[in-house]
Amino acid sequence: MTIRSLILTTALASFVSFGIPQTAEADSVMCTMDAKLCPDGSAVGRTGPNCEFAPCPGEDAGDDDMDDMDDMDDTDSDDTTMPEDAGESDDGAADDSMEDESE
């Protein structure tokens, strides 16, 4: 009867310990598994309480995403103007092909 009690006690303790769900701490943060490709070919993941990308090796720990956005805004005003001959065919007449399709 002693062996039987020992086996039942062990089984009951195992069942109870595995049956209790493990809860996360209140201040823990779960980040998505995104990766940022660094210029040297390595990749870094999101980390910290705000889930920001870790800095690339050899990079300062700054706000790199905003630097990338600033680079996108640096456009030349000359690049956005249309050439004078845009919309004209070889004979100099205006290209009406788009208007003909809608009729």
Domain boundaries, the chain: 29-56
For residue 69 the two structure tokens come to 């956005």
Contact (CB, 8 A) for 46 and 34: yes
What does the block give as tokens for 82? 């249309």
Question: Residue 35's pLDDT is what?
Answer: 93
Q: Which residues of the chain have pLDDT under 50?
A: 64, 66-75, 77, 103
Q: What is the pLDDT of residue 17?
A: 72
Helical ranges in the chain per DSSP H: 2-19, 64-73, 97-102
pLDDT at residue 71, as a whole number:
47
